[in-house]
Amino acid sequence: MVRFIAIDGSEQTIDATCGMSLMENAVANGVEAIEAICGGNAYCGTCRVHVDPVWRKVTGPVTEIEEPMIEASGDSDPGVRLSCQIPVTTDLEGLVVRTPESQS
């Protein structure tokens, strides 16, 4: 289970499938704020999420692949990640992420 919280406070909880990225799970479950225009190639930044502080150690730091796109987006949230670069594992059961205003 992963909970997505939109900027307006609305929430959508999905049953995420291990072995897929968080972005793939969001798209498959109709999370509207995750557009994923580039299909998970870390080129567009339309799958950004803000990982809640208690989950940042589990999801890990921004990777080299994500860094240029996150910088280009201007998103300065300390928990910003590209959901296409977060593999879903059993360790993410209960994960909470927020979607940025620019993706609402």
pLDDT tens-place string over residues 45-104: 999 999 999 999 999 999 999 999 999 999 999 999 999 999 999 999 999 999 999 887
Is pTM, for the whole model, over 0.85? yes
Give me the CATH number covering residue 47. Answer: 3.10.20.30
Residue 31 has pLDDT above 80, yes or no: yes
In whole angstroms, give the CA distance from residue 104 to residue 92: 24
**pLDDT value at position 103?**
85
What is the total count of domains within the chain?
Answer: 1
The whole domain housing 82 covers 2-103
Q: Which residues contact 103 (CB under 8 A, 6 or more apart)?
A: 33, 34, 35, 46, 48
Q: Which residues contact 39 (CB under 8 A, 6 or more apart)?
A: none
> Between vectors from CA 72 to CA 41 and to CA 46, what angle results, nearest 5°?
45
